[in-house]
């Protein structure tokens, strides 16, 4: 039997490494989007069974809890560093990334009910429109993550001093209720 869930993952960096933690979150986002794709393929072949329902629950848990924290981390610490830059391209990138975060929130608002129905065992298979909703949500991430990893994170890491990075780490930790 095919196991479509993938719970094994290397340990994430600690809060004392906030940029590495943001990168690890991107890895987790990729894993969750891949899980969602495998879930959709699995449903096509096997119907909405216990494995599909568990996968839908895993994806919902991540995008309900961790993804909003991740976006807020970026908006509180990474994007302000880009906006403060004299480089117009970086400032423009910050505007784009904020806009894309709003698009992702809207995409999640549309995708979540589809996954919730799958997690509850209905329908036997998503409708073509529901399948497109899931595809559209997943499609929002590739270019966004690449822009953050290739430009936004390195620029912010360079712009922020050690005290700011430390404050970033403490804020990330506090907002998650980690002691």
Distance CA 141, CA 101 (A): 10
User: Left if phi > 0, otherwise alpha if psi is -120 to 50, otherwise beta: which for 11?
Assistant: beta
pTM of the model as a whole: 0.90
Tokens of 120: 């509850």
Tens digits of residue pLDDT in 2-55: 455 555 556 668 889 999 999 999 999 999 999 999 999 999 999 999 999 999
Q: Where are the domains of the chain?
A: 18-174
Q: Is the bond leading into 179 cis (omega within 30 degrees of zero)?
A: no
Tens digits of residue pLDDT in 150-177: 999 999 999 999 999 999 999 999 999 9
Examine the pLDDT at 144 and tell me if it is beyond 80. Answer: yes
Class of domain 18-174: mainly alpha
Tokens of 20: 């590495």
Distance CA 80, CA 66 (A): 21
Tokens of 93: 């990138």
- Check residue 1 and give its pLDDT: 41
- Residues 6+ positions from 51 with CB-CB distance below 8 Å: 1, 2, 3, 4, 5, 39, 42
Distance CA 116, CA 61 (A): 11
Tokens of 111: 């995708």
Distance CA 171, CA 167 (A): 6
CA atoms 6, 8, 9, 15: torsion sign: positive
Tens digits of residue pLDDT in 99-122: 999 999 999 999 999 999 999 998
């Amino acid at each position: 039997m095919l196991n479509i869930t993938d719970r094994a993952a290397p340990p994430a960096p600690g809060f004392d490494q906030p940029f590495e933690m943001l990168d690890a979150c991107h890895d987790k986002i990729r894993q969750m989007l891949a899980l969602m794709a495998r879930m959709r393929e699995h449903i096509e072949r096997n119907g909405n069974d216990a494995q599909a329902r568990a996968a839908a629950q895993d994806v919902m848990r991540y995008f309900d809890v961790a993804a909003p924290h991740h976006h807020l981390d970026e908006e509180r610490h990474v994007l302000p560093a880009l906006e403060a830059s004299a480089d117009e391209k970086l400032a423009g990138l910050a505007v784009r990334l904020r806009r894309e975060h709003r698009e992702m929130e809207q995409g999640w608002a549309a995708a979540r009910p589809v996954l919730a129905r799958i997690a509850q065992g209905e329908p036997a298979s998503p409708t073509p429109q529901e399948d497109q909703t899931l595809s559209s949500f997943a499609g929002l991430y590739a270019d966004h993550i690449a822009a953050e990893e290739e430009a936004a994170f390195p620029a912010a890491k360079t712009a922020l001093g050690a005290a700011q990075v430390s404050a970033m780490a403490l804020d990330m930790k506090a907002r998650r209720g980690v002691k």
